[in-house]
Amino acid sequence: MTKTGKDITFAAELLKQGKLVAIPTETVYGLGADAFNSEAVAKIFEVKKRPSFDPLIVHIANINMLDNLFEKPINEKVFALADAFLPGALTIVHRKKNTVPDIVTSGLPSVAVRMPSHPIAREVIRLSGTAIAAPSANLFGQLSPTKAQHVAKQQMDIDYILDGGDADFGIESTVVAVHDDLVTLLRPGAISIEELKKVVPEIVPISEIKEKKIESPGLLKSHYSPRKPLYILSKEDILLPQNAGLLAVSPNSTMITTPQTIYLSNNGDLLQVAANLFSALHAMEENPAVTEIYVQLVSEIGIGVAIMDRLRKAAYQYL
Ligand code: TXA
Ligand code: MG
C-alpha cells in the first residue's frame, strides 16, 4: 500500500526524482509529477488508466512560473483573471511554450495552468522547484478524491500520498480558455460563470459554441462515477427501496428518508453541498447496506451549475 503522510519536503524530493505523489488542493486531490519530465508524466496516464487524449493541468506556486509555460505575448486577460481569482480554483488554458512536453497537453498547442490556494500544495510545488502536472488522483472515470484516504482506496501504484486534510471546495476547478479574443468556459467548477463575467464579460460556455473552434477533450458525457448505480431524483413522491442510499440537500429539503441518508448541508447552502458531494458518494460506495444511490437535484445557479454537471456525468448511464 502507498504510504500516506504529512512530510512536504519528502514529497517534494520524490517529485524532483520523477516520482508520483498525490497532493492536496482546495478542490480535490491531484496525482502529481514533474510537468517537464515526460516519463514521469507518462506514468500518471498509466496508473490512472487515463486515455492519452485527455490533457493535464499544470500546477504552479507563484504567478512568475507562467513564463515557463505560456507562449509570449501572454494575453492580458490571463493576468486580469489571475489578479481576480488566483491563487484559487481557476484553471487557465493558453497557447503553450514549445518546452512544455506534448504528453502533458495531449499534443494540443495550449496548456492548462492553475495556482492552487491550498498552502501545502503551493509549498510542495515551490520545494520541488518545478511545475507539477496533476489530474485528479482517482482512476479514470471514478469519483474525485477529497480526502487522502479516498486516494489510498483507489490502490494506484504511486509513491506517496501527501495528506493535507479535507479539500475545502470538493469540486474541481473551473476551466477557462483564453485564445485571442475568444474566452471560453470549458468546465464549470468552483468559481461560477457569474463571477467570471465580472472580469471577462465576453466569456461563453463551450456548449454554446457551434463551430468546433475550441477543443476540450476531457469533456466526456460520463465521468466521476461511483461503483454503484446513481439516480438523480426529480420527483418528491418517489418511494425508495430499502437498500437505497439518499443524498439529500438538507434536512428540510425532502420528506423522503431511508436508513442511509446523508445530508449534504444543514441549510441548503450550495457551497456546503459541493464540499460534501464527492465525500458522500465515496461513503455510499463503501456502505455495504447501500446497493443504489439517489441524489436530490439542486438549482443551477452559481456553484449549482458545477454540482449538476458532475451529477449528470456521474449518473449518465442511469439517466
Ligand atoms: O481542481 C482541479 O482542476 C483538479 C486539481 C487536482 O487541480 N484537477 C483536475 O484535473 O480536475 P483533471 O485532469 O481531472 O481535469 C482536467 C481538465 C480536463 O477536462 C481536461 O480536458 C482539461 O482540464 N484540459 C487540460 N488541458 C487542456 C487544454 N490544453 N485544453 C483544453 N482543456 C484542457
Ligand atoms: Mg478528473
- For ligand 1, atom 29, the nearest C-alpha belongs to 111
**What is the atom index within ligand 1 of the atom nearest the CA of 189?**
1
Q: What is the pLDDT of the chain when averaged over all its residues?
A: 92
With respect to residue 299, please indicate whether it lies within any of the assigned structural domains.
yes
Same-domain status, 263 and 129: no
Quick check: 119 and 127 in contact, CB under 8 A?
no
* CB 186 near ligand 1, within 6 Å: yes
Same-domain status, 86 and 132: yes
Encode pLDDT of 140-164 as tens digits. Answer: 989 999 999 999 999 999 999 999 9
The pTM (predicted TM-score) of the whole model is 0.90
With respect to residue 221, please indicate whether it lies within any of the assigned structural domains.
no
Which CATH number goes with the domain that contains 169?
3.90.870.10
With respect to residue 214, please indicate whether it lies within any of the assigned structural domains.
no
Same-domain status, 304 and 191: no
| Domain of residue 298, residue span | 230-318
Residues near 12 by Cβ (< 8 Å), separated by ≥ 6? 124, 127, 128, 129
With respect to residue 168, please indicate whether it lies within any of the assigned structural domains.
yes
Number of domains in the chain: 2
Which CATH number goes with the domain that contains 248?
3.40.50.11030
Q: Which amino acid, residue 163?
A: D
Separation of 135 CA from ligand 2 center, angstroms?
6
Cell numbers given for 261: 441518508
Neighbours of ion ligand 2 (CB under 5 A): 136
Q: Note the ligand closest to the C-alpha atom of 187.
A: 1
With respect to residue 159, please indicate whether it lies within any of the assigned structural domains.
yes
Separation of 252 CA from ligand 2 center, angstroms?
31
Helix (H) or strand (E) holding 185: strand 182-187
Separation of 212 CA from ligand 2 center, angstroms?
23
Separation of 237 CA from ligand 2 center, angstroms?
34
* CB 117 near ligand 1, within 6 Å: no
Encode pLDDT of 250-299 as tens digits. Answer: 998 888 878 899 999 999 999 899 989 999 999 999 999 999 999 999 99
Cell numbers given for 50: 487515463
Q: Which amino acid, residue 124?
A: V
Same-domain status, 71 and 102: yes
- 43-52, 204-213, 228-237, 250-259 — which is least confidently predicted? 204-213
